[in-house]
Amino acid sequence: MEWYFVLLIAIGALLVGGVAGFFIARAWFKKYLEKNPPIDERSIREMFRQMGRTPSEKQVRQVLASMKQNK
């Protein structure tokens, strides 16, 4: 077999593997986010309650804004 056929097969395998890996990783990440959603208002309220505080709506919004800003 000629060397350029081997090179073409290797490049093709890398491309196919990269595309397949992308779609597999994308599906895994979607499933992960469904099981473990990012933090939302309800979770922030619950965290405040666990600390023994009752949050105001303003406090909840401030925490959400600061988390979005830090991402």
Displacement of CA 15 from its chain's centroid (Å): 24
Query: Looking at residue 71, what is its pLDDT?
Result: 60
Q: Rounded mean pLDDT of 14-37?
A: 93
Q: How far apart are CA 66 and CA 58, in angstroms?
A: 12
Per the model's pLDDT, the better-predicted residue between 32 and 34 turns out to be 32
Helices (H), 1-71: 3-35, 41-50, 57-70
Q: What is the pTM of this model?
A: 0.57
Structure tokens at 19: 């595309």
| Mean residue pLDDT across the chain | 90
Query: Looking at residue 25, what is its pLDDT?
Result: 97
Kindly state the greatest CA–CA separation across the chain. 74
What letter does residue 38 receive in the DSSP assignment? P
Structure tokens at 22: 């992308």
